[in-house]
């Protein structure tokens, strides 16, 4: 008999000083069957939390998209340890010859994405089995949230691999890769349904206990992101006939006029490492959607921490307030120098070893050292050098990081609306830049070039830059990312080349795990260039 693992909601307040993540504090409880579950709205809620949990753990192993997207972009190198394998250089250079044995670098992620999609598909298929009574609106809301999660998962997978099997119901069938338009049709349908069927509730009116759940505004914003990527990358006039420019812009204007979101007064306050004393906290008024994490992860099935952030920490050395990590995603000096000196985002986004007078002594252990690390998602320590997860009771800083991944910020909504030609485009564009420059603000005209440059600086290290380049065309992305330079590997100056031809050959897509191709008996085909 087929069984599924169900996760339940724990309505428990965390200890003082911890981040409140009540909606997604979950723990394994039991194994039940399809036949005896899905009876009550309470069962439906548990299944819904299981879908959110599936989203939460997609990056708990393998290579996370937030890290991969930075390594693939022109803003970061692969980095990691000087004695490590070259998997991250393979990604950075789009060249399988850099690490031929790493044929399954995304293998665990592929499996976790499909496990999460399985949870969503099972729940969607079982909804009519539940006795909802007179509360049909609750059923519709749960369906809308679940479909948003499924769309989010598929959009990640399409940007990573481009050619994937499409499942909208549980299946053990050996399916071939679907036409990209078929997958994007499901994504667009799901997001359109979510936007239409989740009650619009302004940020101020939201119950803090529900933060982390999908909102109408998150659906409208994600639909715009999908539209911009799809129409740009594939060169299409609209989103598979489901969403056109006017519809998408109207959704963004709804987020702006009715969502109740706003920019924080100071950019640094968005990030714990940039403003340890004035951090605005998670679920602040600029967060439209975030993937939630907490510090209670363990090796007994409780997988709710941010497992990928430790990769970005300074290599094996803490320097208060920055915690140690594995030195991945070292920052290209070109990005640091692209910031104007008056732009407050510069010091808020980048750990600058020299400029901050940090005594980093582990260059011999660091590959592709540049003197710059990612600040926005840096692990942190207290003044005694104790990792903050340990301060909160988790002895393992590797799995106990708990900073949320802020997937959609209000600034993105403003800039997408400006890019799509809102009558208020100049106002939206100026609003983002005024916050960045404070008293030094000078208005610039709203052009696509200026918007793209602003997006690079505003969203540095947030997983958007690479896809912003790709949606301008693979040729554009290849020319922007390609370079020949030198980096320090173990303290030794070493030549590094990223070839435009490799990016063009792969079309910016990643390697489908070889194990999946083998398991499919050749039904799955490897992406070009890999």
In this prediction, residue 2 carries a pLDDT of: 32
**Which pLDDT score is estimated for 96?**
97
Among 380, 214, 212, 388, smallest CA distance to 283 is for: 212
Which tens digits make up the pLDDT trace of 345-392? 999 999 999 999 999 999 999 999 999 999 999 999 999 999 999 999
pLDDT given at position 135:
85
What is the helix (H) or strand (E) element at residue 405, kind and residue range? Answer: strand 405-409
**Cβ distance 89 to 497 under 8 Å?**
no
**Whole-number mean pLDDT of the chain?**
94
Residues 6+ apart with CB under 8 A from 447: none
291 within 8 A of 55, measured Cβ to Cβ: yes
Residue given tokens 């983002």 in the structure block:
432
Helix, strand, or coil (residue 201)? coil
Asked whether 236 and 230 are in contact (CB, 8 A), the reply is yes
User: Which residues lie closer than 8 Å to 42 by C-beta, 6 or more apart?
Assistant: none
CA atoms of 101 and 96, how far apart (whole Å): 9
Query: Where is pLDDT greater, at 6 or 333?
Result: 333
Distance CA 386, CA 266 (A): 28
**For residue 518, how many other CB atoms are within 10 A of its CB?**
12
pLDDT tens figures, 448-501: 999 999 999 999 999 999 999 999 999 999 999 999 999 999 999 999 999 999
Say if residues 54 and 46 touch (Cβ distance below 8 Å).
no
Each residue's pLDDT tens digit, 10-35: 222 222 233 345 444 444 445 666 76
Looking at residue 136, its pLDDT comes to 86
Span 306-313, average pLDDT: 98
Asked if the bond preceding 321 is cis, omega within 30° of 0, the reply is yes
What lies within 8 Å, CB to CB, of 398 at 6+ separation is 307, 310
> What's residue 21's pLDDT?
56
Please say if the pLDDT value at position 222 is more than 80. yes
Q: Which residues contact 307 (CB under 8 A, 6 or more apart)?
A: 59, 60, 61, 64, 297, 398, 399, 401
What local confidence, expressed as pLDDT, does residue 134 receive?
87
Distance, in Å, from the CA atom of 121 to the CA atom of 119, rounded to the nearest integer, reads 6
Pairing relationship of beta strands 287-291 and 405-409 according to DSSP bridges: antiparallel
State pLDDT tens for residues 96-118: 999 999 999 999 999 999 999 99
Show the CA angle centred on residue 268, arms to residues 288 and 19, nearest 5°: 60
Q: Which of 267, 91, 117 is nearest to 178 (CA)?
A: 117
Residue identified by tokens 């990769």 is 311
Q: List helix spans (H) across 261-324.
A: none
Alpha-carbon gap, residue 461 to 483, rounded angstroms: 19
* pLDDT(221) > 80: yes
Q: Nearest 5°: phi and psi at 282?
A: -70, 160
Give CA–CA dist 70/466, Å, rounded. 7
Angle of helix 425-437 relative to helix 448-458, nearest 10 degrees, comes to 40
Is the pLDDT at 333 greater than 70? The verdict is yes
- Distance (Å, whole) CA 56 – CA 149: 10
DSSP 344-372: THHHHHEEETTTTT-----GGGBSSB-SE
pLDDT at 8 over 50: no
Give me the phi and psi of 331, to 5 degrees please. -85, 130
Which pLDDT score, from 0 to 100, does residue 26 have? 47
Q: In this predicted structure, what is the pLDDT of residue 443?
A: 98
């Amino acid at each position: 008999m087929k069984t599924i693992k169900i996760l339940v909601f724990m309505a428990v307040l965390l200890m003082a000083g911890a981040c409140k993540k009540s909606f997604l504090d979950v723990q394994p409880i039991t194994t039940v069957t399809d036949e005896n579950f899905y009876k009550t709205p309470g069962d439906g809620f548990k299944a819904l939390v299981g879908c959110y949990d599936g989203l939460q753990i997609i990056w708990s192993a393998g290579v996370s998209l937030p890290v991969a997207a930075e390594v693939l972009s022109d803003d970061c190198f692969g980095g990691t340890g000087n004695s490590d394998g070259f998997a991250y250089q393979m990604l950075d250079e789009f060249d399988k010859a850099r690490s031929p044995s790493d044929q399954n670098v995304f293998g665990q992620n592929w499996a976790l994405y499909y496990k999460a999609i399985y949870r969503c598909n099972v729940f969607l298929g079982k909804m009519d089995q539940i006795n909802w009574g007179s509360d049909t609106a609750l059923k519709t809301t749960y369906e809308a949230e679940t479909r948003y999660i499924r769309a989010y998962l598929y959009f990640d997978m399409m940007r990573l691999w481009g050619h994937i099997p499409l499942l909208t119901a549980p299946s053990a069938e050996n399916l071939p890769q679907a036409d990209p338009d078929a997958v994007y049709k499901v994504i667009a349908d799901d997001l359109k349904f979510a936007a239409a069927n989740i009650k619009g509730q302004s940020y101020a009116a939201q119950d803090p206990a529900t933060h982390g759940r999908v909102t109408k505004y998150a659906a409208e914003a994600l639909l715009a992101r999908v539209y911009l990527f799809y129409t740009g990358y594939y060169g299409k006039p609209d989103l598979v006939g489901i969403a056109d420019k006017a519809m998408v812009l109207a959704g963004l204007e709804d987020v702006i006029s009715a969502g109740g979101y706003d920019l924080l007064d100071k950019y640094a306050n968005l990030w714990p490492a940039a403003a340890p004393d004035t951090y605005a906290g998670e679920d602040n008024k600029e967060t439209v959607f975030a993937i939630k994490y907490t510090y209670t992860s363990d090796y007994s099935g409780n997988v709710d921490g941010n497992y990928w952030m430790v990769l970005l920490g300074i290599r094996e050395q803490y320097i208060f307030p920055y915690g140690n990590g594995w030195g991945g995603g070292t920052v290209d000096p070109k990005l640091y120098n692209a910031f104007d000196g008056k732009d407050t985002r510069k010091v808020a986004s980048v750990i600058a070893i020299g400029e901050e007078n940090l005594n980093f002594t582990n260059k011999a252990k660091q590959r592709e050292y540049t003197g710059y690390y990612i600040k926005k998602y840096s692990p942190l320590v207290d003044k005694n050098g104790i990792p903050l997860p340990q301060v909160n009771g988790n002895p393992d800083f590797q799995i106990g990081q708990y900073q949320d991944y802020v997937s959609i910020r209000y600034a993105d909504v403003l800039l997408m609306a400006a890019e799509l030609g809102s009558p208020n485009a100049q106002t939206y564009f100026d609003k983002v830049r005024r916050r960045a420059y404070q008293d030094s603000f000078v208005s610039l005209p709203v052009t696509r070039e200026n918007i793209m440059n602003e997006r690079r600086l505003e969203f540095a290290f947030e997983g958007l830059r690479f896809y912003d380049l790709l949606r301008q065309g693979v040729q554009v992305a290849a020319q922007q990312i390609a370079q020949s330079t030198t980096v320090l590997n173990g303290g030794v100056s070493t030549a590094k080349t990223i070839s435009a031809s490799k990016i063009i050959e792969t079309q910016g897509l990643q390697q489908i795990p070889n194990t999946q191709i083998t398991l499919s008996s050749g039904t799955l085909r490897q992406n070009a260039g890999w």
